[in-house]
A and B are shown apart, each in its own frame.
Chain A
Amino acid sequence: MSDRPEILRMAHVEKTFRGDVVALKDMTLAVREGDFISLLGPSGCGKSTALRLIAGLSEPTRGKIEWAGGQGEGDLGVVFQEPTLMPWATVAQNVWLPFRLRGVAYADVRDEVLDALRLVGLDQFMNAYPRELSGGMKMRVSIARAMVTRPRLILMDEPFAALDEITRFKLNNDLLELKAAVGCTVIFVTHSVFESVFLSDRIVVMAARPGRVIHELAVDAPYPRDDVFRTSPEYAAHTRAASDALHDAIGEAA
């Protein structure tokens, strides 16, 4: 596990709002290529703050976030809790966006866009408008958009929280297949123990007030994981461990 090269390092990162609200305290995290890291914790534990800091949407009050070799164009893909698609643009135009904002014409990346849509199974819908799609399909478009530049790191902020459980299970399975297919690195924010165990090889458990890391668990079950894994004793054991850790987090906050 540790032989994979590091792509991002957070060192003693701290974020304070208005001088006295500590949203995130002393977070250190090394992200290695191929990692699937879940940030698990109750609301207010700073998991979304951590994600925004990594995304460069806000700056740490203290500490450093460093990309190995510096952050280049298209190194980062993001999926939000909502699909966040442009309703006036077609599916293909939405997926083209990361390239478009770099000044790349659609004709030059048409293959990449179609590939990304094929990966999420929506190439048939490239000319549809978002309102014609279901919630799950919109989320797939959002994932395709995050993947289209083949980023070194993909950030996902509770992407499936608003979906029904059946769609959510399906998208969890698909996400792992997708990761296996393109070999990307993911940091995944969630408040679901089950989701974090199923998806990740590392779970970072966080507590609130002040937001901080209190446990780090390894889920060493091999990939590929599927519905069989969901019912295995191994899965149950990991779920128990993650639940206990989360319980600590909630207990400490309360």
Chain B
Amino acid sequence: MTVAETAPPILDQEEERRARRERLERLAKWTLPSLVMAATILAWHLYVTIGEVPHYILPGPGRVFGQIVSDWTLLGTAALTTFRLAMIALAFAVVAGFCLAVAFTQSKFVEMSFFPYAVIIQVTPVVSIAPLLQLYLQDPFAAALACAWIVAFFPMLSNTTIGLKSTDRNLEDLFTIYGANRWQRLRLLKMPSALPYFLGGLKISGGLALIGAVVAEFVIGRNGTGLGLASLILEAGYRLNYPRMFAALILISIMGVLIFAATSLISHLLLYKWHESALKRDR
């Protein structure tokens, strides 16, 4: 190793300023949102205590967090139900969206035949189909699953379809020249090209699956089926148990954030080596 390599790098003032700014930005990325969170909770607490707001109108943060701990058996079980519902719906949405997108790109006629119906499923408000689904599917979990699936399905389908179609024309020609068959073209060219789009769809559908699950629970879980966190919120509303309602709400938000973080992580792990979106920008 030479001296030049071991010596500390020489920074001019601009470089120093930039390094300082980068350190600050790295720090701020985590501390700033945490501070906002803390300030919000503090403001909430002060508002409730100073304004002497009764807990059946707006419970303070301490009471809500206390409720999460004391009601954990009930809340945890309900959260798990909702989470399971959302994840199964997402899994079905991913599989169905992917398979149908592949079918679309393999045959224009399949796309012409079925795409309009995919749009119809997407634009029909799920709340309005839920009672029918419940009537025909009997089992409330199956009905709720169908609702959540409908909400989560379309972004997977449309993103993957666009992805499979957005292959580089010259690469397509190259595959033709080298005599690629249909399967090779799909496996080695279209699927890798579609991956970033597919993962974008996954991020959207992950959040939508949870929203769909909660909405389905609201509509279907109404008649005492005891489905997940939404039923808990409804029930707590009837009993004016607002701390429990807030507790359930907070758990839903945490779940949503976790799903987003998980899908973002998956996306990063699959793309960071080669995709432009994962490229660190040079200044």
Contacts and interface: CB of A to CB of B under 8 A. Distances in A.
A and B part of one assembly:
yes
Interface string B52-95: 00000000000000000000000000000000000000000000
Contacts of A86: 171, 188-189, 192
A101 B175 contact: yes
A101 B184 contact: yes
A212 to B, nearest CB: 24
Given A57-B173, A78-B174, A131-B279, A88 B274 contact: yes
Given A78-B174, A101-B175, A84 B168 contact: yes
A80 B170 contact: yes
Interface in A98-126: 98, 100-102
Interface string A70-84: 000100101010101
A17 B176 CA distance: 21
Interface residues of B, number: 21
Interface string B174-192: 1111111000100011001
B273 interface: yes
Contacts of A131: 274, 276, 279
A87 B274 contact: yes
Contacts of B175: 101
B195 interface: yes
Contacts, number: 53
A129 B279 CA distance: 12
A76 B177 CA distance: 8
A19 interface: no
A146 B52 CA distance: 78
A237 to B, nearest CB: 37
A57 B192 CA distance: 23
Q: Interface size class for chain A?
A: 20 to 34
A55 interface: yes
Nearest to B185: A101
A189 interface: no
B17 interface: no
Contacts of B173: 55, 57, 78, 80
A131 B273 CA distance: 9
A46 to B, nearest CB: 18
B154 to A, nearest CB: 26
Interface in A54-77: 55-57, 73, 76
Nearest to A155: B177
B171 A84 contact: yes
The 4 closest A-B pairs by CB, nearest first: A84-B170, A101-B178, A88-B192, A129-B274
Interface of A: 55-57, 73, 76, 78, 80, 82, 84, 86-89, 97-98, 100-102, 129-131
Interface of B: 168, 170-171, 173-180, 184, 188-189, 192, 195, 273-276, 279
10 contacts: A55-B177, A80-B170, A88-B275, A97-B174, A97-B178, A100-B188, A101-B175, A102-B179, A129-B273, A131-B276
